[in-house]
Chains A and B, each alone.
Chain A
Amino acid sequence: MKLGHIGADFRIVSRTYFRNPVALFFSLIFPIILISLFGAIFSATSSSAVNLVVVNEDHNPTGIGYTPESVAFLQALNATTLVKVSVVDVNAQNFSNYLGQNGDTTGLIIPAGFQSDYTNSTPVNLTIFTNPQDAAAGGTVIGAVQGVSAAFNLHRACGSGTCVPVIGFTTRNVGSQVYKYIDYLIPGLIGFAILTSPMFSMVDIASSYRKDGIFRQLSLTPITRSEWLTSRILWYVALTFVTSTIMIGAGVLLFGAHVTLTLGMLPFLVVGPFFFVSLGMLAGSVAKTPESAALIGNIITFPMMFLSGTFFQVSMMPAGLQTFAHILPLYYVIDGLNQVMLFQNTSRAILDLLIVLIGSVIIFLLAVRLFKWRDE
């Protein structure tokens, strides 16, 4: 291997890249789009509060607005963060139908006279609607309403400020970090870029350079196949560094993502492209035509694109698919990145790294052997 040859070819690759607007878009702009898109979709619904639709029949005697106690009750419900109250103006008789038509699974009716009954200590009944098919939401709503009611009852029974509950509690935090979707999304999408960018372009290059005779042209120069492939790998390593920086920056700035920037990421950003540049070259070399090369490339790329923990954590998938994920090389790249960027689990990261590294060496040697730049 001669560094001079690799350097000369690296200049050719980088110039080719910088002069290709489509390639630039996919490596510099597309990552931001991906982060924004997936971050926005999943961050918005990541709140676990149950939507509780409320009909408040306890209007002020003036007819404008609701009574202070009923409003206070609903605010207390909201403050639990278990439910998110939205008040609708619907007749109590039609409320059940209304919930069904709007796809809401939980509802609450505060009857007229709620405030006066409460202040007079007259029993008053709230009505809770739940859907047995969404038992979790129903349970949350019942628990929240019971809790708030108990507090109100206690307050009523004791008078203001003179009553101390017998059983109290304080809250403390557990040490484990709770990760948001965006935190997993960043290592996942870095893995996505490590996979797709070299795979798609190397498969294409392998077949089109052969068709255009560029490999034959190169075979007449002193550059060797392994030097040529190394220069491509180095280019995609450089590109991966840039893309990862962009993704982390976008994730942190747009969604407040929580990642640890550590040197432990670097081996994965090197070995990942090493693996997939070699694999792309291998796939492109075994194919006879550019069309079949693209097909082989897609067959390899697509399952990995979705099932290796790119957009969704592997632990969220059904058991069968999880087993399948473990045979996908990208899984180990993304898992390794998760270990170093989120969990600081070094020993597991090292295991992931070793698996990818050994795979890379095998695929690299196979690719150099099987991709011919002259004919028999």
Chain B
Amino acid sequence: MAAAIEVDGLVKRYGTLAAVDGIRFSVAPGSVFSFLGPNGAGKTTTTEILEGLRKRTEGEVQVLGLDPWTEGEPLHRRIGVIPQDFRFFEKITPKEAIEYYRALFHTDVDPIALLGKVELADKANSRFDTLSGGQKQKLGLALALTNDPEICFLDEPTTGLDPHARRAIWAVIRSLKKEGRTVFLTTHYLEEAELLADRVAIIHHGKIIAEGSPAEIIAQHGLPARMTVEGSPALAAYLQMNLGAAAVVEDGKVSVTLNDKGDALKILTAIEASGLPWTSFTTTHDTLDDVFVRLVGQMDEGTLKSENAK
């Protein structure tokens, strides 16, 4: 099946600054693809190029087989977009806003049913300027769905929202996927990407530095799982001698790398056999968060080094 979104060698330059610097990825139809990166990484620029709101400098971009910049009109009938920090006519109510979009798109969607879907039906007749941040964002979501889009673009849809509003938006995103729509989601909340996305691309300084499912990225870039017990340096030395495994001591905690899940049993047996005092054990593995922080950190260091070298 043809990809919903296909990007190859995409570059966007503002003067000499490359906001997006030669990225390549593709999004399968019906999947949730998350674009992850710190502020200023190039997420919004890329998203806007895909939506046909911004002209690219170089590269190939196809969304539903269309060029977003030159074929914006047919494309816009098939996609739904919620920009970052969604704003609308201040004196207009959500119901009127959807009626407006319905007339523009020539659809017969029921405004109240659509508002019900994003949990905003109770505010159907409140003016936009009286809505909270989360309610405004929900209206943005509802408007993006007025034309029954094949792809939904959500640019940081939960930034600045309270946890409850955030969960409500997540629920809607899950239902979009269930309905078979493709979702392109940018976020700087790793938790959000990990919870919702089938595939994640981490973008930093305009370049994709990791791509795959959250599990693949963690496996590829994360540290192996570790077992940690509270114990003395003597315990660490004992484990190192008896297991041949590297044991690290930090703040009265001894950690040993788990290369295989069977290792956990061996380590615990060895600890018991040592006769040394120890308490509470935990196993830890990297989250996307850890990987993200490490990758971005490494890249910034690399940039600094290369800049210093100049």
Q: Tell me if B87 is interfacial: C-beta within 8 Å of chain A.
A: yes
* Contact code string B74-89 (vs A, CB < 8 Å = 1, else 0): 0011010101011111
Q: How far is the CB of B194 from chain A (nearest CB, A)?
A: 29
Q: Is the CB of B105 within 8 A of A222?
A: yes
Q: Which of A106-114, A209-217, A257-265, A283-291 contacts B (4 or more CB under 8 A)?
A: A209-217
Chain B residue at smallest Cβ distance from A221: B104
Q: Is the CB of A12 within 8 A of B89?
A: yes
Q: Which of A1-9, A133-141, A318-326, A345-353 contacts B (4 or more CB under 8 A)?
A: A1-9
Which B residues touch A5, using CB under 8 A? 103-104
Q: Which of A13-21, A53-61, A146-154 contacts B (4 or more CB under 8 A)?
A: A13-21
Q: Which of B54, B76, B85, B91 contacts A16 (CB 8 A)?
A: B91
In the complex the two chains form, what is the Cα distance from A169 to B103 in whole Å? 75
Which B residues touch A216, using CB under 8 A? 53, 83
Q: Tell me if B189 is interfacial: C-beta within 8 Å of chain A.
A: no
Contact of A222 with B104 at beta-carbon distance under 8 Å, contacts A16-B92, A374-B52, A376-B55 already known = yes
Contact of A8 with B83 at beta-carbon distance under 8 Å, contacts A217-B88, A220-B51 already known = no
In the complex the two chains form, what is the Cα distance from A125 to B290 in whole Å? 114
Q: Is the CB of A19 within 8 A of B127?
A: yes
* Contact code string A211-253 (vs B, CB < 8 Å = 1, else 0): 0111011011111000000000000000000000000000000
Q: Tell me if A180 is interfacial: C-beta within 8 Å of chain B.
A: no
Q: Tell me if B170 is interfacial: C-beta within 8 Å of chain A.
A: no
Interface residues of A in 1-56 (CB under 8 A from B): 4-5, 7-9, 11-12, 15-16, 19-20
* Contact code string B84-128 (vs A, CB < 8 Å = 1, else 0): 011111111000100111011110000000000000000000010
Chain A residue at smallest Cβ distance from B52: A374
Chain B residue at smallest Cβ distance from A373: B53
Q: Tell me if A375 is interfacial: C-beta within 8 Å of chain B.
A: yes
In the complex the two chains form, what is the Cα distance from A15 to B96 in whole Å? 10
Q: Tell me if B73 is interfacial: C-beta within 8 Å of chain A.
A: yes
* Contact code string A168-191 (vs B, CB < 8 Å = 1, else 0): 000000000000000000000000
Q: How far is the CB of B146 from chain A (nearest CB, A)?
A: 9
Q: How far is the CB of B130 from chain A (nearest CB, A)?
A: 11
Q: Is the CB of A16 within 8 A of B89?
A: yes
Which B residues touch A212, using CB under 8 A? 87
In the complex the two chains form, what is the Cα distance from A216 to B153 in whole Å? 14
Q: Is the CB of A219 within 8 A of B53?
A: yes
| Chain A interface residue bracket vs B | 20 to 34
Q: Is the CB of A8 within 8 A of B103?
A: yes
Q: Which of B76, B89, B92 contacts A222 (CB 8 A)?
A: B76
Chain B residue at smallest Cβ distance from A218: B104
The DSSP consensus for interface residues of chain A is: helix
Contact of A213 with B87 at beta-carbon distance under 8 Å, contacts A220-B76, A374-B53 already known = yes
Q: Is the CB of A12 within 8 A of B96?
A: yes
Q: Is the CB of A221 within 8 A of B76?
A: yes
In the complex the two chains form, what is the Cα distance from A219 to B85 in whole Å? 16
In the complex the two chains form, what is the Cα distance from A361 to B275 in whole Å? 94
Q: How far is the CB of A89 from chain B (nearest CB, A)?
A: 64
Contact of A12 with B83 at beta-carbon distance under 8 Å, contacts A220-B76, A221-B101, A222-B104 already known = no
Q: Is the CB of B100 within 8 A of A214?
A: no
Contact of A8 with B76 at beta-carbon distance under 8 Å, contacts A214-B87, A376-B55 already known = no
Chain B residue at smallest Cβ distance from A7: B103
Q: Is the CB of B89 within 8 A of A375?
A: no
Q: Is the CB of B85 within 8 A of A213?
A: yes
In the complex the two chains form, what is the Cα distance from A12 to B83 in whole Å? 21
Q: Is the CB of A220 within 8 A of B53?
A: yes
Q: Is the CB of B104 within 8 A of A375?
A: no
Among B51, B101, B104, residue most surrounded by chain A Cβ atoms (within 10 Å): B104
Q: Is the CB of B76 within 8 A of A20?
A: no
Chain A residue at smallest Cβ distance from B51: A220
Q: How far is the CB of A269 from chain B (nearest CB, A)?
A: 26
Q: Is the CB of B96 within 8 A of A374?
A: no
Which B residues touch A374, using CB under 8 A? 52-54, 72
Which A residues touch B55, using CB under 8 A? 375-376
In the complex the two chains form, what is the Cα distance from A374 to B99 in whole Å? 24
Which A residues touch B48, using CB under 8 A? 375
Q: Is the CB of B53 within 8 A of A375?
A: yes
In the complex the two chains form, what is the Cα distance from A114 to B158 in whole Å? 98
Q: Is the CB of B83 within 8 A of A217?
A: yes
Which B residues touch A221, using CB under 8 A? 76, 101, 104-105
Q: How far is the CB of B258 from chain A (nearest CB, A)?
A: 49
Q: Is the CB of B83 within 8 A of A15?
A: no
In the complex the two chains form, what is the Cα distance from A217 to B87 in whole Å? 8
In the complex the two chains form, what is the Cα distance from A222 to B72 in whole Å? 10
Q: Which of A7, A19, A213 contacts B83 (CB 8 A)?
A: A213
* Contact code string B43-55 (vs A, CB < 8 Å = 1, else 0): 0000010011111
Chain B residue at smallest Cβ distance from A375: B54
Q: Is the CB of A19 within 8 A of B100?
A: no
Which B residues touch A223, using CB under 8 A? 104
Q: Is the CB of B91 within 8 A of A20?
A: yes
Which A residues touch B91, using CB under 8 A? 15-16, 19-20
In the complex the two chains form, what is the Cα distance from A4 to B103 in whole Å? 7
Which A residues touch B79, using CB under 8 A? 220
Q: How far is the CB of A229 from chain B (nearest CB, A)?
A: 15
In the complex the two chains form, what is the Cα distance from A175 to B171 in whole Å? 81
Q: How far is the CB of B137 from chain A (nearest CB, A)?
A: 13
> Which residues of B line the A interface, CB within 8 A?
48, 51-55, 72-73, 76-77, 79, 81, 83, 85-92, 96, 99-101, 103-106, 127, 143
5 additional A-B pairs beyond A212-B87, A217-B83, A222-B73, beta carbons within 8 Å, are: A5-B103, A12-B100, A15-B96, A213-B87, A217-B88
Could you show 8 A-B contacts with beta carbons less than 8 Å apart? A15-B91, A15-B92, A16-B90, A214-B87, A217-B86, A221-B105, A374-B52, A375-B55
Closest 6 CB pairs of A and B: A8-B103, A19-B91, A212-B87, A221-B104, A374-B53, A16-B91
> Which residues of A line the B interface, CB within 8 A?
4-5, 7-9, 11-12, 15-16, 19-20, 212-214, 216-217, 219-223, 374-376
